[in-house]
Amino acid sequence: MAIWLPGHHAPHWWGGAAGGPPGGVVNGVSVRVDQQRAEDGSVRVRLLDEDGEPVEVVSAFLRFLAARDCSPNTLVSYAYDLRHL
């Protein structure tokens, strides 16, 4: 497993594209961040796989952060960072 950190050179398997892989495609798997706002104002953030199903280990971590009253912006930031793992 390779990890890309913003501000560092992209790994060779990304074709050297600055800023990481286009469209959230990592190691041949397409993932995306899903954000939904409930009527009560709460935000649900999930990482979805190429079939539109949540990546459960990431979703559980994001729920943990939400339960600790982390900012919705923090949840979104973590989700975008975790899609590169």
pLDDT tens per residue across span 9-65: 444 444 333 444 434 665 667 899 999 998 998 889 999 999 999 999 999 999 999
Residue 54's pLDDT is 95
Q: Record the pTM.
A: 0.64
**Lookup: tokens for 30:** 């397409």
CA gyration radius, the chain: 14
29 contacts 9 by C-beta, under 8 angstroms: no
